[in-house]
Amino acid sequence: MRAAMTGAIVAAVVGCGQDAHRGAVLAADARAGQAALYAYDCGVCHRIPGVAGAHGAVGPSLEAFGKRIYVAGRLPNTQAMLVRWIIDPPAIDPLTSMPAIGVDEAHARDMAAYLLSLR
């Protein structure tokens, strides 16, 4: 438990009720995440509401991603899991066609915060 938290700053626990299963939230800035999703060209493959030019149809649409139960059809959609996935998808699923595009952890956290805010 403590090990899982290492490196993570517990900033807040948002919206008790429906989001309780999302657990602790890593310090992050959703606004910056929105910009990072643009800067890393995530929209080439994904449709992402609020990100200019993000109309890709290679991967699934990320609309309402904050409501999604699983990441990549297998990981529980928590912020920590999503960060791991964004940084290095093949490390989690060697079969995935989503590449590791060199997102650093701070950016990944911000991106995750933005994606989880999509309802």
Partner 1 sequence: MASGRFLRLRTAASAIAVFLVLLAASAAAVMYAGIYSVAATEQHLAPTFRLLDVGLRRSVERHARNIDEPLLERDADLERGRACFIAHCEQCHGGPGVGRADFAKGLLPVPSSLAQASADWRPRELYWITSQGIKMTGMPAWEYRLDEHALWSLVAFLRQLPLLTPEQYQRERVRAPQACERAEASRQAFLAADAKRGAVAIQQYACTACHRIPGIVGPQSHTGPALTAMGRRRYIAGVLPNTPENMVRWLQAPQAVNPHTAMPDLGLTEANSRDIAAYLAQLR
51 CB burial (10 A radius; 0-12, 13-18, 19+): buried
- The residue (of 23 and 60) whose beta carbon lies closer to partner 1 is 60
CA 72/CA 109 separation, integer angstroms: 17
Minimum separation from the CB atom of position 105 to partner 1 (A): 22
User: Does residue 96 touch partner 1 according to CB under 8 A?
Assistant: yes
Alpha-carbon distances of 25 from 11, 43, 76, rounded to whole Å:
6, 25, 14
- The residue (of 31 and 73) whose beta carbon lies closer to partner 1 is 73
Q: Binding to partner 1 (CB under 8 A): which residues in 46-85?
A: 47, 57-61, 63-64, 67-70, 72-74
Q: Give me the residues that bind partner 1 (CB under 8 A), please.
A: 45, 47, 57-61, 63-64, 67-70, 72-74, 93, 95-98
